[in-house]
Structures are given as structure tokens and as C-alpha cells.
Amino acid sequence: MEVFRVASGTAPLLVSMPHVGTHLPDDLAARMTPVARTVPDTDWHLERLYDFLGELGATVLVATHSRYVVDLNRPEDDASLYPGQDTTGLVPVDTFAREALYAGALPDDAERAVRVERFWRPYHAALRASLDALRARHDAVLLWDAHSIRSVVPRFFAGRLPDLNLGTAGGASCDARIEHALAVAAGAEPGYSHVMNGRFKGGYITRRYGDPAAGVHAVQLELSEATYMDEDPPFAFREDLAGRVRPVLRRLVGAALAALKVT
């Protein structure tokens, strides 16, 4: 099975969806617990939610395999993105709810290395190639790293997560005008809470590829799943909710693209 899908566009916009994949190879699934095989920590339905990207001319890069195979938004050396805080690693061994993923032995170093080679590196090579292709045609490019997560995950944060969690690596991954435009746009959306560089400041993709001096501006949006779906199995998409938040997402992306033009 392919590691990723990519739809190429002409606009200065690349949208990465590294955690939407649900596929587990058969040999791996056979070793996993029943809860692991339901892949509960998937960034569910984001392709459907962001169905307007084609109209914007975006290039869209989508992972096909579950983050339980290898987490594409973690560094290859598995260094913590949030030192001192709990997080899951490059090759996770438990769910966000601290439920075991494996019924028996955990992946060893050799297996981890194979997964990096087979899944992690091809995705990042495609991401780099897509950015380079867009950058060759545009003075500046926006990388939008799209994510979602349950609204309540005590392991990572207390209480309920804001609806719109924007991250710019503390301002390092994009021009300040883009960050400001996003903060203003998010603040203008009634009914949706937001935060900039809160619990989620941007993962490896945002931090690694965001390079404003080189014309690549990266933003991560961690969206609360409560804004568009049922958060419990079977994780159903809710068009009644999605129909309200989808225009918000489009306005946020649009605000960032408008600011990109003046960087």
C-alpha cells in the first residue's frame, strides 16, 4: 500500500495531513491490542472537512498509515518536542489514554529503524519535494499542517482544549504578519475559542520546514474534534457541526494566504 497520497496544486499552499491515516499492515495489526486496531488517535475525517482545498489550488499531502506505525510529526531521532511534558514518541507504544498498543513484545530498535525507512522518510521526502516545487514558482509558500484531537485528553492538558489551536513554534516558523493575521481571524469567529502557541505550538513538521527567511512559512492547526465529529467510537463525521466550522477553516487559511502576499 502506498505510504502517502499527494494532489498537486499551483497555489503557494501546501497542506500536510500526517495523522489521518488508518491503515495498519496485517503483520503489525496481528500483534496489537483490540483498542489499538481501532486507531482511536487518528486525526479523523480531515480530508472531508477540508474539502475546499482544491478550490484554493492547494497541494495536499495525506498519510495513509496510522500514526501507530510511525509518527510522521516526530523527529527521526525521537527527541521530545515538549521537554518535561508527557507526549507519545516516534513509534508509539500506547494510546493517548495510556492504553497499551501491543499485546506482546514492543518494537525493538531494528524494527523502529525499518519503519522510519519505509514510512517516515518517504513522507518527508514528498513534503520536501512539494515545498521545493512550489517555492520554485512562488516568492513565498504557506505550509499548513492540519491536525485534530479529542477536546479532552488529560494526559496532555488539563480541562477542555480550545477549539482552534494555532501553532507557529512560538513565532519562529512564519512571518509575524501571518501569525497576527491568524490571531485576528480566529478571534473574529463567534462561537469558537482559540489560542496561539498554547499546548500545541507546532510539531516536527512545523518546526523543521518553517523557514521564513527562505520563504517557507509554516503553521499548525490542532482542531478540537468536538467541532466537527463524534469523539467516541465509531468516530462519526457530523455534517451539522462540520458545516459551521468548515467556513472558519477556509477563512483562516485565506487570512494566512493574504498575509503571505505581503511578507
What the block records as the C-alpha cell of 53 is: 482545498
Share the mean pLDDT of the chain.
Answer: 97
Containing domain of residue 73, as a range?
4-260
Confidence of residue 111 (pLDDT cuts 50, 70, 90): very high
Provide the whole-model pTM: 0.97
Q: Is the dihedral of CA 182, 187, 193, 195 positive or negative?
A: positive
Mean pLDDT of 178-202: 97
Strands of the sheet containing 13-17, edge to edge, are: 4-7, 59-63, 13-17, 141-149, 216-224, 164-167, 194-196
Q: How far apart are CA 134 and CA 68, in angstroms?
A: 30
Confidence of residue 22 (pLDDT cuts 50, 70, 90): very high
Q: What is the residue type of 166?
A: L
Query: For residue 133, what pLDDT is reported?
Result: 98
The structural domain count of the chain equals 1
Lowest-confidence region among 51-55, 62-66, 81-85, 103-107: 81-85
Query: For residue 55, what pLDDT is reported?
Result: 97
**Is the pLDDT reported for residue 45 higher than 90?**
yes
Confidence of residue 58 (pLDDT cuts 50, 70, 90): very high
Query: For residue 203, what pLDDT is reported?
Result: 97
140-185 pLDDT tens trace? 999 999 999 999 999 999 999 999 999 999 999 999 999 999 999 9
85-103 pLDDT tens trace? 889 999 999 999 999 999 9
Look at residue 56 and give its three-state secondary structure.
helix
Q: How far apart are CA 92 and CA 227, in angstroms?
A: 26
Alpha-carbon dihedral 75, 79, 84, 87, rounded to 10 degrees: 50
Query: For residue 233, what pLDDT is reported?
Result: 96
Query: For residue 84, what pLDDT is reported?
Result: 86
Query: For residue 227, what pLDDT is reported?
Result: 98
**Is the pLDDT reported for residue 262 higher than 90?**
no
Query: For residue 62, what pLDDT is reported?
Result: 98
* CA count, 13 A, side-chain hemisphere, 187: 8
Query: For residue 128, what pLDDT is reported?
Result: 98
Mean pLDDT of 109-118: 98
- CATH number, domain containing residue 173: 3.40.630.40
Query: For residue 224, what pLDDT is reported?
Result: 98
